[in-house]
Amino acid sequence: MKQRLITVAIDGHSSCGKSTMAKALARRIGYAYIDTGAMYRAVTLYCLEHGMIKGDEVNKPRLRRHIPKIEITFQVNEEGKSETYLNGKNVEKEIRGMEVSNKVSLVSAIGFVRRAMVAQQQAMGAKKGIVMDGRDIGTVVFPDAELKVFVTASAQVRAERRFKELQGKGDTTTTFDEVLANVIERDRIDSTRKESPLRQADDALLLDNSHLTLEEQDQWLYEQFVLCVKV
């Protein structure tokens, strides 16, 4: 039986495992995966590289002039993993570091940055058959997505996961308390910002994965997908 193509929108707090489950689902069902957080991270890296961030201030007039010159694309590497490119350069590693993590909420709160990224995301998903994760996918980017999931987990659990991930990448300088503070601060900025604050769409399914294994959450998401395409 030929299944209809749908749009899967996965939103939620930072470091709650959204990307992991979104990637796993995309691979399992043969859909493209788009990590919209990586796009805001790449814009942040661009700002840092061009000296546009001083302390907590982003030079908005300069960034506004540069925004049309910022092209973000994704390419699947030899291992089948999607990697982020900023104006043709692979920046996958740089955008995951603490320097970008500490500033990305400032950049993603800017209206003209969001409008530019949302337009790119809508173009990428125009033909459906995508799993997209972020903060505003079910509310702003694809409000008509057939399957919407809002993922959360406690701040402590999320910081533990992020800390392990950083250590796994060889980061020996960042402490657990710094990671926890970063998670809490990003939650605050993401949910209280004026532009597209993080919130659960009315028709999104809520998943708290604090006490779920990766296999359990992947299976749960896959079952929601199957239910959705069957209807």
Footprint of ligand DC (CB under 6 A): 14, 36-37, 40-41, 104-105, 108, 134-136, 186, 190
Report in angstroms how near the CB of residue 19 gets to ligand DC at its nearest: 7
User: At 3, phi and psi to the nearest 5?
Assistant: -90, 145
Closer by beta carbon to ligand DC, 31 or else 139: 139
Report in angstroms how near the CB of residue 230 gets to ligand DC at its nearest: 28
User: Cα–Cα distance between 137 and 175 in angstroms, integer?
Assistant: 31
Closer by beta carbon to ligand DC, 205 or else 229: 205
Q: Alpha helices of 50-195 — where are they, by DSSP H?
A: 60-66, 98-108, 111-124, 155-168, 176-192
User: Cα–Cα distance between 9 and 181 in angstroms, integer?
Assistant: 27
Closer by beta carbon to ligand DC, 3 or else 191: 191
Closer by beta carbon to ligand DC, 205 or else 231: 205
User: Cα–Cα distance between 152 and 13 in angstroms, integer?
Assistant: 6
Report in angstroms how near the CB of residue 14 gets to ligand DC at its nearest: 4
Structure tokens given for 65: 């002039």
Distances (CA, A) of 137 to 26, 67, 108, 128: 16, 21, 14, 13
Closer by beta carbon to ligand DC, 57 or else 78: 57
Report in angstroms how near the CB of residue 105 gets to ligand DC at its nearest: 4
End-to-end Cα, the chain, rounded Å: 13
Report in angstroms how near the CB of residue 122 gets to ligand DC at its nearest: 12
Other beta carbons within 10 angstroms of residue 80's beta carbon come to 8
Closer by beta carbon to ligand DC, 6 or else 110: 110
DSSP state of 33: E
> By the 8 A CB rule, do 157 and 34 touch?
no
Report in angstroms how near the CB of residue 35 gets to ligand DC at its nearest: 7
Closer by beta carbon to ligand DC, 203 or else 223: 203
Greatest extent of the chain over all pairs of C-alpha atoms, in Å: 56
